[in-house]
Amino acid sequence: MFEFCAAPDTLDSLRWTACYLSNGVHMSFYGAFVKVLLLLAVTAPVALGFGFVGAMAARAPFAPLRWFGKSYIALVRGVPDIAFFLFFVIALDQAIEWLRHKALCPDWDQPIRQGNDFVVCQAAKMPLGNAAQWVHESYGFALAVVTFAIVFGAFAANVLFGAMRAVPHAQLETAAAYGMSRRQTFWRVLVPQMWVFALPGLSNLWMVLIKATPLLFLLGVEDIVYWARELGGTKTPRFTDYPHGDWRMWYFLALLVFYLAFTKFSESVLDRIMARLTKGQATAGGEAQRKAAA
């Protein structure tokens, strides 16, 4: 990046550090931070959507829908994350390719399962075998988002399900007495009031989600923990211009600072949302706000 970086072993330590921190691998490392933040930004709303639908299904009057919602919550919450990430992603990927294979290659005569191998025709590959590397990476990233959304959606569904039940029953009865339909009661009375009960649980989930991003590497997405481990590892002079000892401690220290700072930032944002949601609610928090204002 800098011109003086041509011969790193002749540099003083300050310039050496500048060169070291701006070489190609470090750029990938910084890119991984963006990747993680992007994943969080995309996953959180999607997971919340999954959760909302799950919670709605779990309290539906129509029995099969209710069973579906309840078993989604119970199943996904019960399976260890790491098993889910190892198994589900490969299964999802193969399911997509199988469907494309059926649609695109009807005259394929070989079996799809050959021993351990999963073989589909070239046109059914997802993404296509000759696609650029960034397409493969985006596909991996999309799979990651879906998987995270399903896992965290189940937890969110449970939180929202509880929150919907925590809304005082008198509120719903009053709505009914005013002649609101079930649907109107749900959207106009229940949903606006439930967030305040859901937020503590959801904020927990958000914190867990922030720290769950290293699972990305299981999905083939190179995240910050992978790069910290890779970059911090001992480098011998034969294979790099910047040899160093085991620096993983420093890299992980940097990650620690990043995660703590991000947690702190999240907390202050969540506090603001909480204050806003509490406004005018029939809860202890809402009562305190009223008294403070008066």
Partner 1 sequence: MKNLILTTAALALTAGMAMAEGKTIRMGTEGAYPPYNFINDAGEVDGFERELGDELCARAALTCEWVKNDWDSIIPNLVSGNYDTIIAGMSITDERDEVIDFTQDYFPPTASAYVAASDGVDVGSAIVAAQTATIQAGYIASSGATLVEFATPEETVAAVRNGEADAVFADADYLVPLVEASGGELMFVGDRVPLGGGVGMGLRESDGELRGKFDAAITSMKADGTLNTLLKKWFGDETQTY
Q: Which residues bind partner 1 (CB under 8 A)?
A: 23-25, 27-28, 86, 90, 93-94, 97, 114-120, 122, 125, 129-131, 133, 136, 217-218, 220, 222, 229-230, 233-234, 236-243, 246, 248
Q: Are 251 and 234 in contact (CB under 8 A)?
A: no
Closest separation between CB of residue 38 and partner 1, Å?
19
Give whichever of 233 and 280 is closer to partner 1, judged by the CB atom: 233
Nearer to partner 1, 59 or 136 (CB): 136
- Please tell me whether residue 29 adopts helix, strand or coil conformation: helix
* Residue placing its CB nearer to partner 1 in the complex, 91 or 269: 91
Closer residue to partner 1 (CB): 122 or 174: 122
Residue 114 backbone dihedrals phi, psi, to 5 degrees? -120, 95
Alpha helices in 59-132 (DSSP H): 63-78, 81-104
How open is the CA angle 66-69-70, to the nearest 5 degrees? Answer: 85
Least CB distance from residue 274 to partner 1, whole Å?
A: 39
Question: 275-284 long-range CB contacts below 8 Å, 24 or more apart?
Answer: 277/195, 277/196, 277/199, 278/196, 281/193, 281/196, 282/168, 282/171, 283/196
Q: Give the Cα-Cα-Cα angle 222, 227, 230 (nearest 5 degrees).
A: 120
How far apart CA 115 and CA 98 sit, in angstroms, is: 16
Q: Dig out the tokens for 155 from the structure.
A: 């937890």
CB of 8 to partner 1, least distance (A): 9
What is the closest distance, in whole angstroms, from the C-beta atom of residue 228 to partner 1 in the complex?
12
Residue 2 vs 265, nearer CB to partner 1: 2
Cα–Cα distance measured from residue 54 to residue 164, given in angstroms and rounded to the nearest whole number: 12
Q: Given the complex with partner 1, which of 131 and 282 has the nearer CB atom?
A: 131
Phi/psi for 269 (5° steps) reads -65, -45
Min dist CB 22 to partner 1, Å, is 11
Q: How far is the CB of 124 from partner 1 (least distance, A)?
A: 10
CB of 236 vs partner 1, minimal distance in Å: 4
Which CB atom, from 104 or from 191, has the smaller least distance to partner 1?
104
